[in-house]
Amino acid sequence: MKKNNSVLLSTPYLIWMVAFTLIPLCVVGFYALTDPATGKFTFDNLKNLDAYLPVFWQSVAYSVVSAFICLLMGYPVAYFIAHQKPVAQKFLYMLVMLPMCMSFLLRTLAWVGLLQDTGIINTFLGRLGIGPISMIRTPGAVVLGMVYNYLPYMILPLYSTLVKIDHRLVEAAEDLGCNGAKVFSKVIFPLSLPGIVTGITMVFVPAVSTFYISQKLGGTETVLIGDVIERQFKQGNNPNLGAALSLVLMLLVFVCTGIMNRFAGDDEEGGVIV
């Protein structure tokens, strides 16, 4: 391909992306800086945001905890899959993928059926003479919903990096005196760091902005930033405040992912694509 063709080929794409990603963000900025009633320029929307600081913190806390739990749960699974025979690997990979293809709304709803006071688990416990234990509408239930929904997003990139680790590196480490635990901490873990970072980002970003999970599994106290934004747009009829909140959420996510990527070291561009 000639060089000037490349401009011809890429320009429509660039225009499209500017039109439908950058400009919309500018519109969000515009709404964030105008008054809902008068339409005049104002900083009030942004100034009022400090009231939502606790909600931001709560969202970050929940999603960090979820990402961490996903890592703890996902690592053994990814490790196990990466060490199976190729046929078994394919099959298990598919089993991890499958839930991602199914409606997450309904799957979350199933957790409501499982966890609620009159739900499946409590009915079962009731037969054993225990409970009912209140599980739903607790912070734990929201974290569980996040872990459940986003665990595959952790497992898949982890698996991709783990499966690429040359087995001879493990042997080399053993040869140099590492027992199982040390092989893990000195070789496997550092080599899987890009996968960990991708996994954590892929769990953190949707978790920090979710509203469905907290609506269904959370109580009146578990308000997340996604809830607030959704409610401003869909009921509160205050898109300006919603826009301001969205803007801050976006900055928050960019800062967090930026820190994560720095943490992983950016020797290879792109990281892992699942």
Partner 1 sequence: MKRANRLITILIFIFLYIPMAVLIVASFNTGKDIAHFESFTWNRYIELFQDDGLLNLLANSLIVAVLSTSIATVFGTVAAVGIHNLKPRMRKIAMTLTNIPMTNPDIVTGVSLSLLFVFVGTRMLGQRDSLTFWTLLIAHITFSLPYVVLNVMPKLHQMDNSLVDAAMDLGCTPMQSFFKVTIHEIMPGIVTGAIMAFTMSLDDFVISYFVSGLDFTTLPVEIYSYTKKPIQPKVYAMFTLMFLLIFLLMVISNLLQLGGEQRKTRSRGAASERSAGRIVKIAVAGAAALAIVVGCAIFIGNNGAEPPVVSEYTMTELPAGPEESVTINVYNWGQYIADGSDDSLDIIAAFEEAYPNIKVNYSTYDSNEIMYSKLANGGITVDVIIPSDYMIARLISENMLLELNFDNIPNYQYIDETFRNTSFDPENKYSVPYTWGTVGIIYNSKYVDEADVTGWELLWNEKYTDKILMFGNSRDAFGITQYMLGYDVNTTDEGELTECAQYLMEQKPVLQQYVMDEIFGIMQNEEAWIAPYYAGDYLTMAEENPALSFYLPEHQGFNLFIDSICIPSCAKEKEAAELFINFLCDPKISAANMEWVCYSTPISEAKQFLDPEVAESEISYPAAEKLIKASSYAFLNPETTRTVEAMFMEVRNSR
Partner 2 sequence: MSKELIRLQNLTMEFDGERILDGINLYINDHEFLTLLGPSGCGKSTTLRIIGGFLTPTDGNVLFDGERINDVPAYRRQINTVFQRYALFPHLDVYDNIAFGLRVAKVPKDEIHERVTRMLEVVSLRGYENRKINALSGGQQQRVAIARALVNEPKVLLLDEPLGALDLRLRKDMQNELKRIQQATGITFIYVTHDQEEALSMSDTIVVMNKGRIQQIGKPEDIYNEPKNAFVADFIGESNILDGVMLSDYRVRFFGKTFPCVDKGFEPSEPVDVVIRPEDIDIVPPAEGSLTGTVASVTFKGLNYDIIVEVKGFKWLIQTTDFHPVGAVIGIRLNPEDIHIMHKSEYSGQFGDYSSYSAEYDELTEDAGDEEE
- Kindly list the residues in this chain that would bind partner 2 in the complex (CB under 8 A): 166, 168-169, 171-179, 182-183, 186-187, 190-191, 193, 267
Stretch that binds partner 1, among 116-124, 160-168, 169-177, 191-199 (CB under 8 A): 116-124
Task: Check: CB of residue 191 under 8 Å from CB of residue 169.
Answer: yes
Separation CA 60–CA 100 (nearest Å): 23
Choose the one of partner 1, partner 2, none that binds residue 177, judging by a C-beta under 5 to 8 angstroms depending on kind: partner 2
Contact flag: residue 14 with partner 1 (CB under 8 A): yes
Element at 68 (helix H, strand E): helix 53-82
- Of the candidates 41, 51, 85, 177, which one interacts with partner 1 according to CB under 8 A? 51
CB of 157 to partner 2, least distance (A): 17
Q: 21-30 burial string, b = 16+ CB within 10 Å, else e?
A: eeeeeeebee
Of 196, 170, 158, 173, the C-alpha closest to 80 is 158
Separation CA 248–CA 57 (nearest Å): 12
CB of 85 to partner 2, least distance (A): 12
* Radius of gyration of the CA atoms of the chain, in A: 23
**x/- binding map, residues 81-110, to partner 1, per CB under 8 A?**
x----xx--xx--xxxxxxxxxxxxxxxxx
Separation CA 46–CA 241 (nearest Å): 8
The residue among 76 and 190 lying less far from partner 1, judged by its C-beta, is: 76
CB of 100 to partner 2, least distance (A): 29
Choose the one of partner 2, partner 1, none that binds residue 49, judging by a C-beta under 5 to 8 angstroms depending on kind: none
Contact flag: residue 76 with partner 1 (CB under 8 A): yes
The residue among 39 and 177 lying less far from partner 2, judged by its C-beta, is: 177
Choose the one of partner 2, partner 1, none that binds residue 163, judging by a C-beta under 5 to 8 angstroms depending on kind: none
Separation CA 131–CA 94 (nearest Å): 37
